């Protein structure tokens, strides 16, 4: 780190608690940001290439391997896109089971991120292990919550990591209701923990930092979105996934191996829990809305640091929703139906824990994948993260280099970026001239 009267350089060589490998660089001169770059240098992973020439039936299992924390999202976007091509209509039971599986993933992913990755920032701990010495009770509760999510994924997905029970057209095996027997009690307790945790987290100090973002999320008339909905924004966007590629484009940046996604060529978008919450508050259950209001969280929330609170609301809601879905689950028995392939192109977007995940596939009449395109939530958020950091270093310029660097890391974690999903960790360097 170095400082002079007009220039300042802050360098952080390793930003922990984000996924993947990258760095951040910002150059400040005379109180203006001259450059800000989120540099991603993790090698590309070529999953779209792996998919070419494989059977469409393999897509849910191959794409699940892209991410160890949100495999369900990859499975869901792939099956929806492929079923559109084949003209397959999911039954109500299937749609509800897919929603239940998504609830499991939201619970486990959000529980890990909020308690283990993000809360230590707000409490001034270097990591969750240091935090656990003073807040053992909350860490225990976080593990309980996470286990509730894992249990759903385990029962319905076949195993906790990289589930294997999802197929185009449904599930390979439908669980008997008796398999869910112990889950209800765990989810009820998990919902209570999420309620208490939301109140606790609301007492944390949130930086005064707001911006007029273009929030993008799915929205539909029936439910808080997971698997279905139009892609909407607060600035006029309302499209089906079919025309996503007409509006969203990806561009290579010379300093990054991740493609940056833009709306209409040059518009920066914000996806993830905060965007979902702002667009779909009315679709939450009355108890989830009440909890949000009780902790002072109402739409439109423009402070990205409060994504922490939104994630707790979403955990609370996902527990409640999972309980509802379990209550009305009717065992369909063994289903041997198989979706038959048709040639064509299919597109779908679903709500991964980190935001919109878009998939597009082209398959031939035998179901062989000709090409595929996958746009992860972090690709959508790459540019808004860079812009937040630009704004942040100016707004908090009076902070010491050390504190400013910490604030920047915290801001990056607002987005829970999965750099490996988008290709792919973060070194932060702030240079002041």
When binding is defined by CB under 8 A, the residue of 26, 119, 139, 385 that contacts another protein is 139
Does 425 engage in binding with another protein (CB under 8 A)?
A: yes
Does 132 engage in binding with another protein (CB under 8 A)?
A: yes
Quick one: 153 or 301, whose CB is closer to another protein? 153
Quick one: 200 or 396, whose CB is closer to another protein? 200
Quick one: 167 or 413, whose CB is closer to another protein? 413
Burial bucket for residue 196 (CB in 10 Å: 0-12, 13-18, 19+): middle
Does 126 engage in binding with another protein (CB under 8 A)?
A: yes
Does 243 engage in binding with another protein (CB under 8 A)?
A: no
Does 74 engage in binding with another protein (CB under 8 A)?
A: no
Quick one: 39 or 186, whose CB is closer to another protein? 186
Quick one: 43 or 177, whose CB is closer to another protein? 43
Does 185 engage in binding with another protein (CB under 8 A)?
A: no
Does 123 engage in binding with another protein (CB under 8 A)?
A: no
Quick one: 18 or 315, whose CB is closer to another protein? 18
| Closest CB 193 distance from another protein, rounded Å | 14
Token pair 């910490």: residue:
406
In this structure, how many other beta carbons lie within 10 angstroms of the beta carbon of residue 58? 16
Quick one: 133 or 336, whose CB is closer to another protein? 133
Q: Which stretch binds another protein (CB under 8 A): 143-151, 234-242, 276-284, 372-380?
A: 143-151
d(CA 10, CA 3): 8
What is the CB-side half-sphere exposure of residue 193 using CA atoms within 13 A? 24
Quick one: 129 or 394, whose CB is closer to another protein? 129
Quick one: 1 or 117, whose CB is closer to another protein? 117
Decide if 80 contacts 350 (C-beta within 8 A). yes
- Beta pairing, strands 426-432 & 22-29: parallel
- What b-and-e string marks burial along 4-32, b requiring 16 or more CB atoms within 10 Å of the CB? eeeebbbbbeebebbbbbbbbbbbbeeee
Does 103 engage in binding with another protein (CB under 8 A)?
A: no
Longest dimension (CA), the chain: 73
What is the CB-side half-sphere exposure of residue 252 using CA atoms within 13 A? 4
Contact letters (x/-) for another protein, 156-175, by CB under 8 A?
----xxx-------------
Radius of gyration of the chain (CA): 21
Decide if 249 contacts 265 (C-beta within 8 A). yes
Token pair 């679709």: residue:
283
When binding is defined by CB under 8 A, the residue of 105, 167, 416, 429 that contacts another protein is 416
Contact letters (x/-) for another protein, 17-36, by CB under 8 A?
xxxx----------------
Q: What is the SS3 assignment for 307-331?
A: HHHHHHHHHHHHHHHHHHHHHCCCC
Does 16 engage in binding with another protein (CB under 8 A)?
A: yes
DSSP string across 194-225: HHHHHHHHHTS----------EEEEE-SSSS-
For residue 93, the Cα-to-chain-centroid distance in whole angstroms is: 25
d(CA 306, CA 308): 5
Q: What is the size of the binding site for another protein (CB under 8 A)?
A: 36
End-to-end CA distance of the chain: 13
| Residues whose CB is less than 8 angstroms from the CB of residue 180 and which lie 6 or more positions away in sequence, other chains included | 155, 326, 329
Name residues contacting another protein, limited to 258-297 (CB under 8 A): none
Q: Which stretch binds another protein (CB under 8 A): 106-114, 272-280, 355-363, 370-378?
A: 106-114
| Closest CB 384 distance from another protein, rounded Å | 19
Quick one: 153 or 372, whose CB is closer to another protein? 153
Residues that bind another protein (CB under 8 A): 14, 16-20, 43, 45, 67-69, 109, 112-113, 116-117, 126-129, 132-133, 136, 139-140, 143, 146-147, 150, 160-162, 416, 418, 420, 425
């Amino acid at each position: 780190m170095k400082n002079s009267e007009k220039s300042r350089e802050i360098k952080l060589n390793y930003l922990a608690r984000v996924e993947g490998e990258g760095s951040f660089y910002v150059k400040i001169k005379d109180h203006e940001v001259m450059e800000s770059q989120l540099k991603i240098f993790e090698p590309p992973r070529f999953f779209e290439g792996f998919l070419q020439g494989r059977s469409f039936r393999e897509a849910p299992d191959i794409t699940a391997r892209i991410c160890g924390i949100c495999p369900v999202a990859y499975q869901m976007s792939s099956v929806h896109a492929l079923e559109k091509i084949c003209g397959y209509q999911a039954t109500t039971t299937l749609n509800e089971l897919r929603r239940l599986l998504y609830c499991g993933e939201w619970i486990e992913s959000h529980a890990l991120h909020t308690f283990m990755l993000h809360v230590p920032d707000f409490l001034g701990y270097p990591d969750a292990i240091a935090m656990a010495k003073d807040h053992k009770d909350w860490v225990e509760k976080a593990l309980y919550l996470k286990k509730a999510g894992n249990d759903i994924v385990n029962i319905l997905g076949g195993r906790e990591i990289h589930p294997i029970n999802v197929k185009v057209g449904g599930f390979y095996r439908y669980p008997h209701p008796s398999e869910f027997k112990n889950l209800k009690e765990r989810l009820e307790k998990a919902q209570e923990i999420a309620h208490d945790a939301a109140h606790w987290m609301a007492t944390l100090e949130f930086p005064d930092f707001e911006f007029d973002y273009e929030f993008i999320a799915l929205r539909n008339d029936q439910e808080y979105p997971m698997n279905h909905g139009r892609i909407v924004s607060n600035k006029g966007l309302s499209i089906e996934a079919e025309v996503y590629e007409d509006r969203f484009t990806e561009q290579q940046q010379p300093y990054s191996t991740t493609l940056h996604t833009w709306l209409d060529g040059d518009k920066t978008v914000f996806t993830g829990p905060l965007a979902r919450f702002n667009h779909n508050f009315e679709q939450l259950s009355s108890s989830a809305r009440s909890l949000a209001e009780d902790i002072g969280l109402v739409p439109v929330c423009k402070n990205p640091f409060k994504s922490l609170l939104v994630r707790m609301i979403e955990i609370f809601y996902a527990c409640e929703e999972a309980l509802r879905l379990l209550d009305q689950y009717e065992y369909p028995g063994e289903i041997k139906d198989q979706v038959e392939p048709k040639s064509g192109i299919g597109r779908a977007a679903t709500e991964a824990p980190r935001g919109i995940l878009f998939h597009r596939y082209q398959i031939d009449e035998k179901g062989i994948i000709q090409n595929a395109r996958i746009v992860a939530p972090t690709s959508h958020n790459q540019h808004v993260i860079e812009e937040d950091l630009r704004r942040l270093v100016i707004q908090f310029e009076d902070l010491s280099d050390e504190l400013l660097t910490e604030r920047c890391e915290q801001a990056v974690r607002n987005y829970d970026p999965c750099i490996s999903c988008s290709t792919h960790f973060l070194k932060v360097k702030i240079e002041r001239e």
